[in-house]
Amino acid sequence: MAKTTTFLSAVNQTLKRASVIQGSTAELTSFTGHANQTDIDLMLDSWNEVIADLYTLDVLKEEIAEGSFTISTSGTDSGREYSVPAGFIRMRGDPINQENSFILRHFDGGFDAMREQRMDPDDFTGQPSFWVISPVSDNIRIDTTPTSDENGDVYGYTYDQRVNLAATTDTFPIDDAVVDVLQNAVWQWWVLKRKSAADFNEALYSRSMVNATHMLRDGPPKRMYGAA
């Protein structure tokens, strides 16, 4: 089965179901700069929220992606913290600087232990040895304040990534047939956000989600939508 449907194509189809646009001549070519921007923005959010529900149902698996950060003495928190890519869920393994054969190990005990054992981070400078994810900033945090000797060192890593659709050319992590089945679920989620609970067709939403989960895995879904 193919995975060729673009985010733009899917959004145009759902906007037609919601009667926000009519006919091919009114189809969007971009996601910004429209008179009905609120309707469009809510539809973009609705698609991503329905896809996120499929992740929580364990019918979609996170993708593995590659990322990196470059040590900088002028970076966040004196070069001790580095942002992660959009969609980052968790690190796989440890960051590696291949050029110098350095590897950062996860700090035993995590962020709280590093905070306790590095009470004055300025006392620890030079080559880092450990990393954690800060629950405060959601950044990668290293255990030292880098100096000019470490400035420019690149650490690469792999991570689990959850797909977040944003660009018109983004494609779905699911087959085209499943995208089609989800149209009603996304439409009704948009109705709930844009209009009211009274306008929301729970039966239509539930049927769409159940059909999609059946297509994505064998056996009954682990969680049902709607009344039992």
pLDDT tens track for 168-217: 999 998 999 999 999 999 999 999 999 999 999 999 999 999 999 999 98
CB 209 within 8 A of CB 193: no
Confidence label for 62 from pLDDT (cuts 50, 70 and 90): confident
> Residue 227 pLDDT > 50, yes or no?
no
Shortest CA distance to 190 belongs to which of 34, 17, 21?
17
Written as one letter, the residue type at 62 is: E
- Token pair, residue 103, equals 């590897």
Average pLDDT of the chain to the nearest whole number: 92
- Token pair, residue 215, equals 């297509």
CB 146 within 8 A of CB 128: yes
The reported pTM is 0.67
pLDDT at residue number 225? 40
For residue 55, give the 3-state DSSP assignment: helix
Q: Please write the tens of the pLDDT for every residue from 202-213.
A: 999 999 999 999
> Residue 70 pLDDT > 80, yes or no?
yes
| Residue 160 CB contacts under 8 Å (≥ 6 apart), including other chains | 62, 63, 64, 65, 88, 89, 90, 92
Express as a percent the part of the chain with pLDDT over 70: 95
What number is the average pLDDT over the span 76-96? 93
The H or E element containing residue 177 is helix 176-194
What number is the average pLDDT over the span 109-131? 96
Written as one letter, the residue type at 122 is: D
What number is the average pLDDT over the span 52-71? 90
pLDDT at residue number 158? 97
